[in-house]
Amino acid sequence: MPAPASGPILVVNAGSSSVKVILFDAQLCQTLSGAVTEIGSGATFTLNGASNACAATDHKSAVRLILNELATRDMPPQSFAAAAHRVVHGGAKLTAPRRITPEIRAEIVACTALAPIHNPANLAAIDALSSLTPDLQQFASFDTAFHTTNPPEATTYPLPKKWRGRGLQRYGFHGISYSALVKNHPGPLPKRLLALHLGNGASLCAIHNGCSVATTMGYSPVSGLSMGSRVGDIDALAVLEIAKSEGIEVTSTLLNNASGLMGLAGENDMRSLMRAGTPDADFAISHFCYWAVRHAGSMVGAMGGLDGIAFTGGIGENAPEIRERILNELNWLGVRLDYDANRNNLSTLHGASSNISVHIVAAREERQIAQDALELM
């Protein structure tokens, strides 16, 4: 039997060693959150902030554990309207949220080579729910989809046709976050909006008339800004030099997990770095802000000007010092910061004399995924 359309929506975000869930009611209000982390060894189950050790050897056992616990709270799977998944890579074909059918699942599988760390984990959670609750309809929102409006000049690497035909292009990520930002931006949406998703993963997006026209991430989430542990932009021959010495696997780990703030200061938490006050920490912060400003110029160029700026993500929403450093370097664009508003993390940050609106927009990725599913139903 189909689940009731008025039932809750289970939003699932699966990583390589974790399954995180948030339950939303039919009005898209969050009612519960939980996660199983460190799947495979020393797993921990957390529900609404309370944590306990658990036995979860794979994604299926983690999903089963979550469903069983929800059932004890009078929320059995048959009461859900749907499950909705974050899928990192939709490739060139999955350009909008979709109901998961065998055909759509096959397309997600086809994108695995483009996101070998992320898509297999997303698929593991989809398959686990299909096995455990076969009557539950499932939906997927894709992190790459928002950027499919980029022009070909922005997405095409100048490689021979043979390699372009193998999917080597700029895709961009954080698309669910940017889609939510557009829908939740306070007041009229600026025609030319510079959006900064700043967190452990960080990117910028040029949004023109509500559509992405350029973004800093490319073929993978490694490129663009320096991030918590990702390297950001690096010359391809420098990567080849590392790979020649260390091999492909070690190089991949280095670029994804040991670079960025981690590589510069041995720490990837911005709050810890700001408290540290060491030369390495100060330089890592300066490096992060410098490249955010430098890439901002590129995004403004892609839009032909600027009308508004919006910050989102953990750092973007909660680090006034970082926002201030970035915005002060954008004074030449006509940005005038209200320092008191910024210090207090208010939603509107621009002063009365500013030619550019500046806002904080709370990240609502999970709610956006639930909304995508609700609209498709």
Tell me if 26 is assigned to some domain.
Answer: yes
> What's the confidence (pLDDT) of residue 27?
93
Tell me the C-alpha to C-alpha distance, in Å, between residue 104 and each of 100, 108, 128, 139, 140: 5, 6, 16, 10, 9
Do 284 and 223 reside in the same domain of the chain? yes
Domain boundary among 147, 179, 208: 147
Q: How far is residue 196's CA from residue 91's CA, in Å, rounded to a whole number?
A: 23
Tell me if 2 is assigned to some domain.
Answer: no
Do 257 and 193 reside in the same domain of the chain? yes
Task: Indicate the pTM of the whole model.
Answer: 0.93
Range of the domain at 322: 188-360
Do 193 and 342 reside in the same domain of the chain? yes
Do 235 and 126 reside in the same domain of the chain? no
Tell me if 376 is assigned to some domain.
Answer: no
Q: Report, in this order, helix, strand and coil percent for the chain, each rounded to 5.
A: 40, 20, 35
Contact call for residues 287 and 170 (beta carbons, < 8 A): no
What H or E segment, with its residue span, contains residue 45?
strand 44-47
Give the chain's domain count.
2
- Which of 58, 74, 143, 307 is labelled catalytic? 143
Environment class of 169 (CB within 10 Å of its CB; exposed 0-12, middle 13-18, buried 19+): buried
In DSSP terms, 139 is beta-bridged to 84, 99
> What's the confidence (pLDDT) of residue 187?
86
Residue 227: give its domain's CATH number: 3.30.420.40
Active site residue 74: no
Do 198 and 319 reside in the same domain of the chain? yes
Q: What angle do CA 265, 271, 274 make, to 5 degrees?
A: 60
Note the pLDDT tens digit of each residue in 310-325: 999 999 999 999 999 9
Tell me if 345 is assigned to some domain.
Answer: yes
Do 201 and 99 reside in the same domain of the chain? no
Going by C-alpha positions, the residue among 355, 321, 359 that lies closest to residue 335 is: 355
Tell me if 333 is assigned to some domain.
Answer: yes
Tell me if 332 is assigned to some domain.
Answer: yes
Q: Taking residues 123-131, what's their average pLDDT?
A: 96
- Does pLDDT of 360 surpass 70? yes
Do 131 and 201 reside in the same domain of the chain? no
Q: How far is residue 104's CA from residue 110's CA, in Å, rounded to a whole number?
A: 10
Per-residue pLDDT band for 5 (boundaries 50, 70, 90) equals: low
Do 227 and 121 reside in the same domain of the chain? no
End-to-end CA distance of the chain: 15
State the chain's maximal CA–CA distance in angstroms. 62
- Does pLDDT of 165 surpass 50? yes
**Of the ranges 44-48, 111-115, 225-229, 299-303, which one carries the lowest mean pLDDT score?**
111-115
Q: Taking residues 151-163, what's their average pLDDT?
A: 97
Tell me if 261 is assigned to some domain.
Answer: yes
Which residues, at least 6 apart from 353, have a Cβ–Cβ distance to it below 8 Å?
Answer: 336
Do 96 and 239 reside in the same domain of the chain? no
Tell me the C-alpha to C-alpha distance, in Å, between residue 279 and each of 138, 191, 229, 276, 319: 49, 40, 18, 9, 19
Tell me if 174 is assigned to some domain.
Answer: no
Do 267 and 130 reside in the same domain of the chain? no
Note the pLDDT tens digit of each residue in 24-35: 999 999 999 999
Do 142 and 254 reside in the same domain of the chain? no
Note the pLDDT tens digit of each residue in 295-353: 999 999 999 999 999 999 999 999 999 999 999 999 999 999 999 999 999 999 999 99
Q: How far is residue 266's CA from residue 291's CA, in Å, rounded to a whole number?
A: 19
> What's the confidence (pLDDT) of residue 1?
39
- Does pLDDT of 111 surpass 50? yes
Do 69 and 142 reside in the same domain of the chain? yes
